[in-house]
Structure 1
Amino acid sequence: MSGEHLRITTPITADLLRGALDLEHTAHGVRPHRLPAWARARGADGQLAMAEAEPSGVRLALRTAATAVELETRRTKRVYRGVPPRPDGVYDLLVDGRRTDQACVTGGNTLTIDMTTGHTETQPGPAGTLRFTDLPDGVKHVEIWLPHNELTELLALRANAPVEPAPDRGRAVWLHHGSSISQGSNAASPSTTWPALAASLGGVELTNLGFGGSALLDPFTARILRDTRADLISLKIGINLVNADLMRLRAFTPAVHGFLDTIREGHPGTPLLVVSPLYCPIHEDTPGPGAFDVPALRAGRLRFQATGDPAERASGKLTLGVIREELTRIVRQRVPEDPNLHYLDGRALYGAADFAELPLPDQLHPDAATHRRIGERFAEHAFAGGGPFADPSATAR
């Protein structure tokens, strides 16, 4: 079958996408979202709006005999003024579960951010097209994973054979919520963020609600987790609460309880794993707020620092150490009435020894090699025999 004549255009509809909770219709196409419209209206926060519209974990899932597939998109790429340019967003092609190709698109909009002032400016740009050719003959399961770090508007899907939604493979759905590390900050590609790697190793379907800077125990996020299909749920809690300096210990404890209570309204017996923060030296014992390291920015390097005072822990300010201790206590308190609730110390995924070997390049986010290590360790802990998510096929609906 020729790969040169992509004459079949397939409308991009919600049933072709996995990992998205909403599909916004734009003037020229559709934009996947990881928060529904009602929640986006309640959020009213620019950081969250940007993070949830970056389609981490969202993929086109197709059943087709096509040997060539073309996707026309318009990206919005972030550029930080005075800092070396970020890598282009990557699209991963998976055929029958195996990654076989990658591509980037050119053009698109540019969002320029001045981190010293907070000023932003958007420059519009043209759409781009990526083409995957030489796919194997015969009917197959094709996934195109969208960039985890670029806003993406999908304009057209073309192929040289009919395309239909991939059938449900009967796998358990893993619903995960966390911070930019869960979204995939500094991962090499969308299918190699640590949650995507762990999902692949565990043989489950991922819905990734990792939001950069925005894992803040928002009540509407708890309601979304409550109402979204899930056979397995995990929550990675802590780092954003510290670097945003959002609340004190007095507010944190009931907020965690309330978050868990809301989720349990919709998933009373679903395995639920609470994960405390990974090791991060700047915030282990020093409260937030976190801030950009301005001298580093002036030298063209992106680095973060903690600006709080360790003595402020006495007045209830949060550090990663404080949060781990309190999450341990909360889970232990709840387990007698909720035996499907579990706890994992994030330092088992990335600890002090890992930092010595694979330091955080900007003092906050892991690199690509570290994403792989975290994903492998999470899968080993959660999906292996005796783990909280062991035998996920048994819980799939």
Structure 2
Amino acid sequence: MIDPRILRDDPDRVRAAQAKRGLSDEVVDRALAADTARRQAIVEFEAKRGEQKQLGKLIPQAQGDEKQALLAQTKTLAAEVKAAEAAQAAAEEAWQTELMSIPNLAADEAPAGGEDDYTVIETVGTPVTFDFEPRDHIELGKILGAIDIERGAKVSGSRFYFLTGVGAELEFALINLANETAREHGFTQVIAPSMVKPRAMDGTGFLGQAADDVYRIEGQDMYLVGTSEVPMAAYHSDEILDAAKLPLRYAAFSPCFRKEAGSHGKDTKGIIRVHWFDKVEMFVYTTLEESYAEHQRLLEIEKAFLDKLELAYQVIDTAAGDLGLSAIRKFDCEAWIPTQGKYRELTSTSNCTEFQTRRLDTRARFPEGVKHVATLNGTLCASTRTIVAILETHQQADGSVKVPKALQPWLGGREVLEPVAL
């Protein structure tokens, strides 16, 4: 959640941030009113508690009728204290609800607007052209014996798939290369759980605007994660870290699950938009001051990984209205998909500042005191979309696919993936 002091001291800044995201600023007024009600409820409860304590001191000194009157007054006051305490608790809950519904304040540098209002920061490489009619990844997957969408749908339904033969090998190769890249940059590798408790999901902001895209386990108070950002953000929840050990950098592997709510009719064929995929996600704990440089560092690592895959891509500065609840700024790397004739997101990296750690109470001890730290996340490799980009970019006329040099050691030295069925 945002720093409450910003809301109290500079509510117009929060209103402006809401407008930049294309959201109503009514929540600002509701939150301020809830804060006022909460403070008043605290005053009233403390006043009643003070009366109760004073009365408690008088009773031992009283005698006869006076004492009986005081005892009767004590019962009445006890009920009033209990009611005031309940009112304070309700006011506190209302305040927290309003405060937690306010998204992080988008950075000044983030473009205003919605999904289509991003800014292109740079374009890397030249989109590939062919002297033959290129095949899409669905056809290539059949030719190579790499992707089986029909049986995926038969077994699990739409937007599921099997990776078979070189398809499975290609995913393992990508994950291995991503892990190697993470190690080279000083990240600690993690295999993270794909099921979490509600606090982890809510603490990262995924039960807010993204709740419709989250799978809940029926009969259990558990959720399937759509990214290992969720368990990694909760990894140090309720802890006080040693500031001298910051930054803490993790690279977590996990299966990811998404309902793809609101995507009806979009990418219904193939493996671009699916309900399950595997991913290596970078996650960093650092100071607020260092978070901005760390954000650029994560972006450079993602770019270096895409360079290893010999892909053409563009880097965009995501518009405020397309940011998640937790992020102040997000960079996406979008690879060129030849048969679609456009760039599609492969990786993203977000700076969430202290938004998640305020919810999950992750702090560090500094010389000047204990305070919340900042968190950042960055996709290093999302398996399915990366496979799509590689197959379509590096395809040859006969349906074979050239293997990027960086992946060859992880594929037994193969330079080409050969067709198995034409």
TM-score by length of 1: 0.22
TM-score by length of 2: 0.21
Higher helix proportion: 2
| Bigger CA radius of gyration | 2
- More relative contact order in 1 or in 2 (CA 8 Å, sep 6+)? 2
Higher strand proportion: 1
